[in-house]
C-alpha cells in the first residue's frame, strides 16, 4: 500500500515514509492509493471476533509492507488496553465513550499507535526525530502521553494561549522529559499554520527531521476507524440502520469512520456536528468551501475554522458533492444550545455529557427528526471532568477527579511563549 499527496505534486510514499514525513513534500496530506475492502464474511462473523482481531484485519492492509504481522499485533495489544463502552441514552440513542484511556480523550488510540509505530521504525537507529503538533485541546495531552520517554523522539506541542481548559493545559505542560509545550499568542488555526509552514520551510530541511502527530499524520488518523468497527460489532444485533454523530473539529475522526464505511462497514450515514465554527455545515448547504478564522467556544477542541481533514473526505467521494451528501450531513450549534443539551441529557437520564458530546447529541437528534427509523450513536470524545468549569456550572454539581487527572493537578506548568512562526523556527533550530 502506497500513499499519495492530495496536492498531487510529490512522490508516492510507503506507510513508513508517510508516517515519518507527516505531510508530503508539496504540503499535501497523504491518502491511501486504494481503499481495501473487507469480505462480506468479515461483517457476517464480526460478533465472534475480538476487538484486537478486528483492529488487526482493519489496519493490516495499510501497513503490512512496513510492520510485520507479529509486531502489528503486539502494538495493537498495547494500544487497545482500555474499554470503549456503549451507554444507552434512550430507545434509539446511545453514546460511545472514548475517554477511558490514559488522557481521557479519544485521541489516545491514534497517538499511542503512532508512537509505537515510530518506536518500531526507529528501533536501534541513531537518527533523531522531532514530532511537531498543534492542539486545540486534547491532541496535545494524548500525543505527549503516547510519546513520553520514547528514545530518539522529541515532541514539540503548540497550543493557543488561554483557549484550552486548565486540565488540558496541565496534560501537555507538566510531563517534561522529551515533551516541550509552546504557548502561542493566537488561535488553533495559527498553531496549525505554523506547523504546516515548518514542514515546507527550506531553512529547516536537512537540519531538523520533522513529523506531525496531528490527525494529518496517517498513523494518527487511520486507527480512529477502529472504534466505529467495534461499535458496529456490538450493535449489529439491533437490526436497525446505524448512524454516527461525530463532534468534529479537524474532521480526522469522522473521516476515519467514513473510511471504515467505504471498506464495507454497513452504516447508513454520518453526521458532523460542530460548534459555531461552521465551515463544513455551510459547505454542505452551498457546496462552497469558505474557511474563516476560528471562534472560541466551550467545546474548544472543535474550534477549527479550516479543518485539515475535510480535503480527505472530499477525496473519498472524488469531490462529488452530490455523492458526499448521501453519506454526510453537518449541523452547527451555539454554546447556549450546547449547555441546554447538557442539562436535558442529565435531567432525562442522569448522564453527564461533556460539551463536545453534547454537540454530537444535538447533531444526532437533528438528523433523527427526519430519519426516525435509525439507531444513532453520538461520540463522547472526552471525559466531562476535562471541562469541569463548564459542566459544573451548567449542572450546578461537582465532578470527582479520576485518577488520571488527579495525578497531574499539583504538577508545575512549564511552557514557552511564542507569537510568530519565526519564534518556532528559531526554537527548532536551537
Please give the positions annotated as active site.
Answer: 107
Other Cβ atoms within 10 Å of 63 Cβ, number? 23
Sheet with 30-32, edge to edge strand ranges: 13-14, 2-5, 30-32
Residue 269's DSSP bridge partners are: 243
Q: Which of 350, 359, 405 is nearest to 380 (CA)?
A: 359
Sign of the alpha-carbon torsion through 127, 184, 194, 299: positive
Residues 6+ apart with CB under 8 A from 252: 110, 214, 215, 216, 220, 221, 224, 308, 309
DSSP assignment, residue 311? H
CB 250, CB 300: distance < 8 Å: no
With b for 16 or more beta-carbon neighbours within 10 A and e for fewer, the 180-215 pattern comes to bbbbbebbbbbbbbbbbebbebeebeeebebbbbbb
CB 100, CB 83: distance < 8 Å: yes
Task: Cell 521504525: give the residue.
Answer: 121
Q: Can you read off the three cell numbers belonging to residue 290?
A: 469558505
Task: Cell 476507524: give the residue.
Answer: 225
Per-residue three-class SS string for 120-137 = HHCCCCCCCEEEEEECCC
CB 264, CB 38: distance < 8 Å: yes
261 backbone dihedrals φ, ψ, rounded to 5°: -65, -45
Give, rounded to a whole angstrom, the gap between the first and last alpha carbons of the chain: 36
DSSP assignment, residue 165? -
Amino acid at each position: 500500500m502506497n500513499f499519495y499527496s492530495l496536492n498531487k505534486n510529490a512522490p508516492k510514499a510507503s506507510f513508513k515514509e508517510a508516517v515519518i514525513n507527516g505531510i508530503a513534500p508539496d504540503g499535501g496530506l497523504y491518502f491511501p492509493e486504494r481503499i481495501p475492502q473487507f469480505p462480506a464474511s468479515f461483517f457476517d462473523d464480526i460478533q465472534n471476533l475480538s476487538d484486537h482481531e478486528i483492529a488487526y484485519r482493519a489496519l493490516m492492509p495499510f501497513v503490512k509492507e512496513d510492520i510485520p504481522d507479529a509486531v502489528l499485533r503486539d502494538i495493537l495489544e498495547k494500544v487497545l488496553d482500555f474499554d470503549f463502552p456503549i451507554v444507552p441514552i434512550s430507545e434509539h440513542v446511545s453514546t460511545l465513550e472514548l475517554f477511558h484511556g490514559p488522557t481521557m480523550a479519544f485521541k489516545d488510540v491514534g497517538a499511542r499507535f503512532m508512537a509505537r509505530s515510530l518506536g518500531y521504525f526507529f528501533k536501534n537507529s541513531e537518527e533523531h526525530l522531532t514530532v511537531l503538533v498543534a492542539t486545540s485541546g486534547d491532541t496535545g495531552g494524548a500525543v505527549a502521553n503516547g510519546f513520553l520517554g520514547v528514545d530518539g523522539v522529541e515532541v514539540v506541542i503548540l497550543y493557543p494561549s488561554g483557549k484550552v481548559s486548565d486540565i488540558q493545559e496541565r496534560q501537555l505542560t507538566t510531563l517534561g522529559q522529551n515533551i516541550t509545550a509552546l504557548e502561542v499568542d493566537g488561535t488553533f488555526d495559527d498553531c496549525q499554520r505554523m506547523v504546516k509552514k515548518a514542514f515546507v520551510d527550506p531553512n529547516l530541511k536537512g537540519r531538523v527531521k520533522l513529523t506531525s502527530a496531528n490527525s494529518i499524520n496517517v498513523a494518527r488518523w487511520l486507527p480512529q476507524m477502529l472504534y466505529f468497527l467495534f461499535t458496529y460489532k456490538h450493535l449489529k444485533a439491533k437490526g436497525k440502520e446505524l448512524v454516527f454523530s461525530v463532534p468534529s473539529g479537524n474532521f480526522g475522526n469522522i473521516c476515519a469512520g467514513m473510511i471504515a464505511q467505504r471498506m464495507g462497514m454497513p452504516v447508513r450515514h454520518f453526521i458532523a456536528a460542530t460548534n459555531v465554527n461552521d465551515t463544513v455545515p455551510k459547505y454542505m448547504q452551498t457546496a462552497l468551501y469558505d474557511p474563516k478564522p476560528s471562534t472560541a467556544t466551550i467545546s474548544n477542541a472543535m474550534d477549527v475554522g479550516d479543518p485539515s481533514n475535510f480535503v480527505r473526505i472530499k477525496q473519498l467521494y472524488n469531490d462529488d458533492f452530490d455523492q458526499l451528501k448521501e453519506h454526510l450531513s453537518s449541523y452547527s450549534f451555539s454554546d447556549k444550545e450546547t449547555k441546554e443539551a447538557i442539562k436535558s441529557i442529565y435531567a432525562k437520564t442522569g448522564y453527564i455529557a461533556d460539551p463536545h458530546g453534547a454537540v454530537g447529541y444535538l447533531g444526532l437528534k437533528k438528523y433523527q427528526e427526519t430519519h426516525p427509523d435509525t439507531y444513532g450513536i453520538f461520540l463522547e470524545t472526552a471525559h466531562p471532568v476535562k471541562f469541569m468549569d463548564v459542566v459544573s456550572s451548567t449542572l450546578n454539581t461537582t465532578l470527582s477527579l479520576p485518577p488520571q487527572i488527579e495525578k497531574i493537578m499539583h504538577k508545575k506548568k512549564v511552557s514557552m511563549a511564542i507569537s510568530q512562526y519565526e519564534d518556532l523556527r528559531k526554537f527548532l533550530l536551537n
